[in-house]
Structure 1
Amino acid sequence: MAEKNSAFGRARRYARVGASVGGLAARLGAERVLGVKMDRARHAADLRAALGGLKGPLMKVAQIMSTIPDALPKEYVQELAQLQANAPAMGHAFVKRRMAAELGPGWQGKFKSFDLNAAAAASLGQVHRAVSLDGETLAVKLQYPDMASAVEADLRQLRLIFAIYGRTDPAIDTRHIHAEIAARLREELDYELESRHMRLYGEMLKKEKHVHIPQVLPALTTKRLLTMSWLDGRPLLEFRDAPQETRNRIAINLFRAWYVPFYQCGVIHGDPHLGNYTVRADFGINLLDFGCIRIFHAKFVGGVIDLYRAISTQDRALAVHAYETWGFTGLSNDVIDTLNLWAEFVYAPLLEDRPRRIQEMEESGLYGREVAEEVHRKLRQLGGVTPPREFVFMDRAAIGLGGVFLHLKAEINWHRLFHDLIADFDTAALAKRQKAALDKAGLPLPA
């Protein structure tokens, strides 16, 4: 039985996070509206310290916000980007109660062994290592209690931040950003849905020898408990000083892990957080978390390719068509020019038929940040723009993954990788493949 999204739970959560998030909103408002100067860097550091001690979705929201261009001032992005999904684990008594609630009082008899100490603790739950009755090593993800209330409380706090920031800086209308984050976070509460996402990715990537997806154990999975095969691997950042060829191989596997599903079936993994994948001994990739998955209509994917072709051939009419396909409306010539600045940055590595780093200019260390700030400044002067909902996590995936490639200092011919994926692109064929893959995973077509 799903936990209730209780008024008491929400109120308790508001009390816990209100000082941190309300403080951000109030100080931003005072600075922009009243002209009261504040030490943003210090306040951002205080905010990170406060959020880092919380379990639940607010920490995940902070991680998401750190990778969506223009959603928050850069001082906050720099601090929030440092948040890692390492909230302190819950103790043995908690684990026993939660496991009994999900699998019944005899739950321990369903495993050969179960380690009550968490192997990893994250924002919405923690992972335990176990062994099945057949001797298979398992990863068991157990959701923290009262997460439905926590999600609603934290989304309300996020709306407060957006409301204050939006009144003082109209460059980006954040209504759709909030709606999209809210939808994805609510989905992440449903581990049975995540198990279907895992089956979907297993189907879409079954021909990729160097991308690996855990196998779900349905009999040991509920809405708040997800049991899957354990995949051994090392954290990606351990390879930052590896030989160039090794880093390139890892980057190629990551690229295919993200973009084969998108260009073949219109599905994107919207959370390229460093904790969501590990590297195998052969430099293949393990994808480990499937809570934040976005499924797009075929025409949206077509728009991504159309914009690439528009930028590469300087076809302004095709660029406008691509933006309108995504749902941008009422675009003036100046706004189109400004959006094209961002598009030219995102597509730049794909335009050159040569090995290169994902970003060759010197920047602040945050992928795309300086370009985003210039676009933001121009949009503010022009009266702002409203990004469509579908755009939010697509943009986030591109920027988040670009940041990973930046960490790896990978030198790849991105142009050829991309063209290998889109060479025979056809929206009707994509829609057919998408439906077949979704049917096998038990998932509906996008609304």
Structure 2
Amino acid sequence: MADQKPKDKPPTSRIGRLARLASLAPRTLPFAFEGAKRVLGRSRSEEEEAAAKERMAQEVKKTAEAMLKTLGEMKGLPLKLGQMASYIDGLAPPGHEEKFQAALKKLLDKAPPLSAESAAQMIQTELGGAPEQVFEQWEREPFAAASIGQVHRAVTKSGARVAVKVQYPGIDKAIENDLKSISLLETMMSPVTKKFHAKQAIDEIRTVFMSELDYAREAEMADLFRRINANEPDIFVPEVHHGLTTRRVLTTEFAEGQGYADFCKTASQEARNRAGEAIWRFTFRSMLRYGVLYADPHPGNYRFMPDGRVAFLDFGCVKMLPPELVEDMKRYMRAAMDADWDEFDRACVEVLGYDPNDESWDLYRSYTLELMMPLTTKEAWVCSKERARETVSFLARGVRSLSFKEGELPNIPHVPKMPQDFTFVNRLQWGLASVMAGLGTVAYFRRMSEPWIREGLHPIPAA
């Protein structure tokens, strides 16, 4: 039972964190071998295929449970990767997505919490008193726990019900060590990683994830999104209690409502359509009208309120996009909407870095159109898991066909060098597609989005 006792802090040493990840290797090897067999294209009999599926089915649940325990205890970047695997369709082992993702769902907001004493000490350090002194009421046990902090219910001295996010002690050091390990791996494999432009992606990840550790910045971003969406009736952004917020403690208005999984199971199609439209408007209107990217669209960040509004809870992973990048994105979106294929091709070259003289041109061009289908289709678009998986599978199939050709040695195809700021735009595309698929939203996304794409950027409303 000692192992079940909540820890006071996550492991922070570089060696210790690498050792924990290494312990997952025996579990993931069967997936790697199976994936290699599929990629290399060796034909198998029906009996061999059935046996392979049976072996995989036995491994999937054990592997997901091992990941849940290890990544949940580590927190930080490994936990963020586990969260992505739990909800982005197309990342889990083919044919076993539902079982694999179901086991990892707890990582979204129910990861193993740290001890109540650890959270109390953080409140003491940051706010100058024990939780019972600072707040009128304080719940020792958190109701949510995720990658860099856990959330407690409380009531302020003025009687307001609040959610208090408390950062894990030492998580800044843990994330920094994770990033150092990734950078070291990138350096060791530089002949390969240079082709993938890995260094610029790692630099961008470092900048964005380290900024997430500053809850004072997150409070500012929450205020910004409240202003942006002040006139949006279906969007709710909880108010920040700035007097009870510091760099490592964030106190906000408590948002009532259902979690994502329960809402998807119980809500009517009409309610899911309305909620999906609210999430779409929140995400794309902010980005295309104001240049503000909400880059963490995972299911734990939403609450579905009794009055039909959607509450947005986490503003740590927010990026201010350069105005010229937003205008460049609108350029190829408008061209696709207008079926101006000459202009679309020019934008693919000049904005996205695609090479029209390389054999990868058709793949990347087609993939971009695949991602934009909800925007280019004039009819109602049905969000489904099959379509969400295709946003991942389409690219994977194409890269595989270019990499492994009969009678030739494997070869890494051309990888476009996109703007560094595009790193989290790509993360948004896969994540949001899966969130919308879970809701099963049916909506006229082109009709909703076209005004933001046609117009220029707006100034962000002043405080």
TM-score, length-scaled by structure 1: 0.81
Give the structure 2 partner of residue 293 of structure 1: 318
Pick aligned residue for 1:245 from 250, 258, 270: 270
Runs of 5+ in structure 2 lacking a partner?
A: 1-10, 43-51, 404-410
Structure 2 residue 118 is the aligned partner of structure 1 residue 98 = no
Give the structure 2 partner of residue 258 of structure 1: 283
Structure 2 residue 375 is the aligned partner of structure 1 residue 371 = no
Report how far residue 65 of structure 1 moved.
6.7
Report how far residue 299 of structure 1 moved.
2.0
Give the structure 2 partner of residue 13 of structure 1: 17
1:383-413 CA-to-partner distances (Å, cap 9, x unmatched) read 3333432222112212211112211221111
- Structure 2 distance, partners of 1:167, 1:51, is 29
**Structure 2 contact 12–170 (Cα < 8 Å) conserved:** no
Give 1:338's aligned amino acid: L
Give 1:303's aligned amino acid: D
Runs of 5+ in structure 1 lacking a partner?
A: 1-6, 441-447
Give the structure 1 partner of residue 238 of structure 2: 214
Report how far residue 331 of structure 1 moved.
5.4
- Say if 1:169 and 1:341 are closer, same or farther in 2 by CA, change over 3 A: farther
- Structure 2 distance, partners of 1:21, 1:356, is 40
Give the structure 2 partner of residue 443 of structure 1: none
Report how far residue 187 of structure 1 moved.
1.0
Give the structure 2 partner of residue 444 of structure 1: none
Give the structure 1 partner of residue 7 of structure 2: none
Give the structure 2 partner of residue 111 of structure 1: 135
Give 1:93's aligned amino acid: E
Report how far residue 357 of structure 1 moved.
0.3
- Say if 1:68 and 1:235 are closer, same or farther in 2 by CA, change over 3 A: closer
- Say if 1:258 and 1:10 are closer, same or farther in 2 by CA, change over 3 A: same
- Structure 1 distance, partners of 2:340, 2:353, is 18
- Structure 2 distance, partners of 1:69, 1:391, is 21
1:96-146 CA-to-partner distances (Å, cap 9, x unmatched) read 212111112355333111111111111211001111111100110000011
- Structure 1 distance, partners of 2:341, 2:304, is 41
- Structure 2 distance, partners of 1:403, 1:251, is 11
Pick aligned residue for 2:344 from 319, 340, 344: 319
Give the structure 1 partner of residue 438 of structure 2: 407
- Structure 1 distance, partners of 2:338, 2:93, is 33
**Structure 1 contact 102–222 (Cα < 8 Å) conserved:** yes
Other structure's SS at 1:129 match: strand
**Structure 1 contact 63–80 (Cα < 8 Å) conserved:** no
Give 2:441's aligned amino acid: A
1:198-245 CA-to-partner distances (Å, cap 9, x unmatched) read 111111111111111111112211111111111111112223243221
**Structure 1 contact 25–160 (Cα < 8 Å) conserved:** no
- Structure 2 distance, partners of 1:40, 1:152, is 35
- Structure 2 distance, partners of 1:100, 1:314, is 60
- Say if 1:164 and 1:50 are closer, same or farther in 2 by CA, change over 3 A: farther
- Structure 1 distance, partners of 2:96, 2:349, is 29
**Structure 1 contact 270–396 (Cα < 8 Å) conserved:** yes
**Structure 2 contact 238–253 (Cα < 8 Å) conserved:** yes
**Structure 2 contact 286–293 (Cα < 8 Å) conserved:** yes
**Structure 1 contact 10–150 (Cα < 8 Å) conserved:** yes
- Say if 1:181 and 1:23 are closer, same or farther in 2 by CA, change over 3 A: farther
